[in-house]
Structure 1
């Protein structure tokens, strides 16, 4: 059965479209289970009906015509229960519903299993037989396994709109589509998609109409000749190392590039209107699917050859492409994955929003997007990236939704919402110079998180009282080598000068996990639990020393530097870092002939060991800063970059809130200050809970400063403490969140929480 399953899944992957894939499935299942009927019903959500989309054994003319209501018949029962149903005499079951158009009256045995993806029923697969018998456990297991395997294919078709109005006539107009992901940075934007794809990544190349077919043909011809030259050079190079029969592979490569093979097919696609890179991807895809469907292992291995030729051709095409790509105003960047470095290289003034198919709310790119105030939705797994270049889109990062080809009514509605949001932001300017003080007199300090100079300007404009977290890794990520000590000194001096005399807390280089340097690759099976943060810099004291010396030199005459150690998990790491800091102070004093006051050295609480040992760590460190993004990740065992478990990541989880209260209590008992620089600080609901816990300062993205200042000036400390007291005894994160948001609504702050949704029980407050 396992071999049959593998072959079937392979055939499905090679199918050119959904209809072909479904036909392959029903035929293969019918043969594999030696049964008389196999059928697939898919759910048409818009009409709430299961439509017969493929069958072997029933009347083929019923396909696309016959359908069942969502709660009708045994098919509807399978969908309602979300589990298999196995009957030896289906017609005697009270839910049996006879469909005369299918000719199924003679079949008695029935086995139906739901096709599900991410907890949603997409359809039902059914096998039937004349004999009255119960299908065996092995047959049940086979069908359940297969439905799980093919659910991704069906889900992708659904994302493309192929499961809506399944038996309705098709029109040539692109239909509106809604995709769901995870909010990375709040906000709303309307614009047109610009597909971003990495160099020589052929799978990510989008389709795009050719502006000049002759120019595209010329570019492809140049790339083709260049790759032919490479292959011939390789052939000559290996002339003395390989036997003639082994060198024959190079002749195969050249023949594949011939005008009668890949080369000719790509030219045809370009002449039909696709740009050269898109035509190349389409042809390579077709050949890859053909090879994948072959039974011969040798021929299947030729997939690697086709892929290699495709990448070589694409690399040459990309070399010819001008790097000054056009980014019109209100561009919406979309891609499989967009790195932080790629983002900041863009003309940010023209970027309206970002959408990626991978990643999660607290990936490094999302954090930087948040700092820049760019609405971002990540983890939109079903987004058909390659077909969306220049598509009109709406990104609603408040509700984690992406609309493709939105209707006129939807566009009108969102234009009104964007107008209201701009008015709201304009209204927040009144809070810029006001202290973050509650109506009953409690004062809390608001800091800004920075990494780019754009963060500095935005932070100062919005009244930040210093920098709670400077992400020093960002200048490292924007280079093709480690920056020198002098380069670092200049960068750090700009940050320190911009906020003097207010404190600037600089985090030591924090790479690893989801923050890689191209020139310092770290290849690990589980990077979240691997070599990252202070673990790297203590293993490489030469990196630590250059960075801390640059910081000390940058702070000369300003004396507003504080240093933060990331990913601390033991007392030993603090002691080792203190030793290196004292050594650096002595060296810089000798070199610069000045007296340097050693800056405060703080630690980040991000891992459970630091949480449990906070009493010991707080006595040694000068201050404590909680990194709530990573702390939440590790406490809940939820990879913050994994879209599959993104909905389990919540700062309102009782374990997170109780842990934070514990950190504040123990740090204050040690006589030290405690701040929080994770994204919880910039969320209105969690910010008031953090204030009630006793955090001395909150540090957040510049885009959230005014919003949080208004919230804190509106919510009395007494109300916040009552909310916290109730939250700490509740065992459900959703209940805690609802309770907090209800209170914010009562205080007239709903528009700062979910601007595109109305609160429970009434209108959005004015």
Structure 2
């Protein structure tokens, strides 16, 4: 039957490629509001605290049951999400904050929890780092679970029509775990980004997905036929038969291409003329390693450690940090893992540090600058990393380096910690190499001087682009100016690679540009041989490596050097893809 209404399209962000065609299943999140009820006396205060504690106990028991169910079924997927919820639910600071509001403001447990949860959610949403910003969903989901038990409501169960496309304002971490893959063909959300749980689960499970669809729920009716294009980041409403047929052909082509890319998992990233290239991944927690190895990654080029320090009210102690790093070491085995020391400040606020508010936090007191000032924090992290290095193949690197003096100061603290551990008889990996992030233009300019101080460079293109071009990539008014193909950015990258080679040290790249298939040949032509990226980007970069020669790559670089605009350079790079 031909659809009579004209097809319409909603643009979003494609976060998991593929084509889905099917009926819409519209999911709306329950809006949680503050009741405004004020408690009358001490007895009611005590009762509310008791109600909160009981709701938390029930929530923990519910999550434990879900974990047991996944474990019994041999399904590790989703365990990290549930374990994160357990950590939040049992966090003593959460209870302390809620109890404080109940006792001092005479708020109900419901209102106190809403206030505490909203503040934490806002903390994460204000972060510039996309991965950390997306973690607000973990907090919201766990808070909603407690609120449901406070209200005595049973967990909602859904039935999924065969081949349905889920349409929602957002999908909570719990929702993503519960997806019935035998029925769900894809999903689209109004909120979220490339690093949201919905996006991560979609990529891991091979489900087409589009996020960031503005006003999505207003234009779609339950059961209405949709086409979802996860590659283009588009949702087609009410497609006619001709449109549907076009997308069915695309669907078949994508399936064939995906099968071929999957077959690359266990083959080496080697150019046609025999040059081996190292493909690594950027991760934030132990569970991310599963996806790295499933996509053929050779190790970790960037372990962000901020997750340990954010969304809490006190510093993690040495033992907590050691447990985190040890888990990664044991899971990675002999594969290399490069750990970036704490990179807080700027967008990554840690209120318990008492940092002053700054007009320009990205240019202010952050990362290595805090570590060299607060050596107590720095040494605790270094002790934990060094201890865990005895169980794996760790390297360590310092972020936001801008001078030789900062490198020497950081190395001095590291050497001091090594000496202390040796005197205490505590084992650690003696072969751990030391490197720095090249993300400040000053560091790129003095790369020749810095190369004498370290074992390796890691080029962090996200900040390097932002600082070089004076562009806040989160500001919609200037975001279009943020471009990794800008000649100035590429000249700095080429200089860093050249100086690293001249000094005989390793150089890699861990920014988003490393995972852009259009930049692969250009970077190879510059001499880059180590790329670290999102795990799901690895197969496509491997494809690019295996389909080129160094001669071709060097020709592209030579051609790009003579061009004066990012558009021209990008066109040269894309013309051979």
Q: Which residue of 2 aligns with 1:262?
A: none
Could you list the per-position Cα deviations for residues 534-560 of structure 1 after superposition, in whole angstroms to 9, with x for gaps in the alignment? 2333333232222221111111153x1
- Alignment match of 1:551 (pick from 385, 389, 410): 385
Residue 624 of structure 1: CA displacement? 0.3
Say yes or no: does 1:492 pair with 2:348.
Answer: no
Q: Which residue of 2 aligns with 1:51?
A: none
Greater Cα offset, 188-197 or 364-373: 364-373
Instruction: Name the SS for the 2:380 alignment partner.
Output: helix
- Alignment match of 2:362 (pick from 525, 528, 545): 528
Greater Cα offset, 401-410 or 618-627: 401-410
Instruction: Name the SS for the 2:519 alignment partner.
Output: helix
Does the CA-based 8 Å contact 2:521-2:553 persist in structure 1? yes
Say yes or no: does 1:691 pair with 2:521.
Answer: no
Could you list the per-position Cα deviations for residues 112-163 of structure 1 after superposition, in whole angstroms to 9, with x for gaps in the alignment? xxxxxxxxxxxxxxxxxxxxxxxxxxxxxxxxxxxxxxxxxxxxxxxxxxxx
Residue 719 of structure 1: CA displacement? 1.0
Q: Partners in 2 of 1:631 and 1:725 — Cα distance?
A: 22
Q: Partners in 2 of 1:719 and 1:605 — Cα distance?
A: 27
Q: What are the residue-to-residue correspondences of 1:72-87 with 2, within 5 Å?
A: none
Does the CA-based 8 Å contact 1:184-1:366 persist in structure 2? no
Q: Which residue of 2 aligns with 1:630?
A: 463
Say yes or no: does 1:180 pair with 2:17.
Answer: no
Task: State how many pairs are aligned.
Answer: 461
Q: Partners in 2 of 1:589 and 1:723 — Cα distance?
A: 50
Shift in CA distance, 316/671, structure 1 to aligned 2, threshold 3 Å = closer
Q: Which residue of 1 aligns with 2:410?
A: 577
Q: Which residue of 1 aligns with 2:551?
A: 718
Q: Which residue of 2 aligns with 1:320?
A: 151
Gapped regions of structure 2 (runs ≥ 5): 43-145
Q: Which residue of 2 aligns with 1:648?
A: 481
Higher relative contact order by CA 8 Å / sep ≥ 6: 1 or 2? 2
Could you list the per-position Cα deviations for residues 271-310 of structure 1 after superposition, in whole angstroms to 9, with x for gaps in the alignment? xxxxxxxxxxxxxxxxxxxxxxxxxxxxxxxxxxxxxxxx
Gapped regions of structure 1 (runs ≥ 5): 1-172, 203-222, 235-314, 745-766
- Alignment match of 2:215 (pick from 383, 390, 397): 383
Q: Which residue of 1 aligns with 2:255?
A: 422
Does the CA-based 8 Å contact 1:195-1:386 persist in structure 2? no
Say yes or no: does 1:347 pair with 2:177.
Answer: yes
Q: Partners in 2 of 1:453 and 1:413 — Cα distance?
A: 41
Shift in CA distance, 424/595, structure 1 to aligned 2, threshold 3 Å = closer
Does the CA-based 8 Å contact 2:389-2:432 persist in structure 1? no
Q: Partners in 1 of 2:358 and 2:157 — Cα distance?
A: 37
Let me know the Cα RMSD of the aligned residues.
4.1
Say yes or no: does 1:434 pair with 2:273.
Answer: no
Residue 673 of structure 1: CA displacement? 1.1
Shift in CA distance, 461/509, structure 1 to aligned 2, threshold 3 Å = same
Q: Partners in 2 of 1:730 and 1:672 — Cα distance?
A: 29
Q: Which residue of 1 aligns with 2:507?
A: 674
Could you list the per-position Cα deviations for residues 154-179 of structure 1 after superposition, in whole angstroms to 9, with x for gaps in the alignment? xxxxxxxxxxxxxxxxxxx9975434
Larger of the two Rg values belongs to structure: 1
Could you list the per-position Cα deviations for residues 471-523 of structure 1 after superposition, in whole angstroms to 9, with x for gaps in the alignment? 22234447665433222222212222233322110111223444445866875
Q: Which residue of 2 aligns with 1:61?
A: none
Shift in CA distance, 407/644, structure 1 to aligned 2, threshold 3 Å = farther
Does the CA-based 8 Å contact 2:15-2:231 persist in structure 1? no
Shift in CA distance, 387/632, structure 1 to aligned 2, threshold 3 Å = same
Q: Which residue of 2 aligns with 1:537?
A: 371
Does the CA-based 8 Å contact 1:391-1:405 persist in structure 2? no
Q: Which residue of 2 aligns with 1:447?
A: 280
Does the CA-based 8 Å contact 1:327-1:350 persist in structure 2? no
Q: What are the residue-to-residue correspondences of 1:143-162 with 2, within 5 Å?
A: none
TM-score for both structures, normalised by structure 1 = 0.52
Q: Which residue of 1 aligns with 2:54?
A: none
Q: Partners in 1 of 2:505 and 2:367 — Cα distance?
A: 23
Q: Partners in 1 of 2:198 and 2:483 — Cα distance?
A: 16
Residue 612 of structure 1: CA displacement? 1.8
Q: Partners in 2 of 1:391 and 1:629 — Cα distance?
A: 41
TM-score for both structures, normalised by structure 2 = 0.68
Residue 723 of structure 1: CA displacement? 1.3
Q: Which residue of 2 aligns with 1:240?
A: none
Shift in CA distance, 696/643, structure 1 to aligned 2, threshold 3 Å = same
Q: Partners in 2 of 1:356 and 1:486 — Cα distance?
A: 40
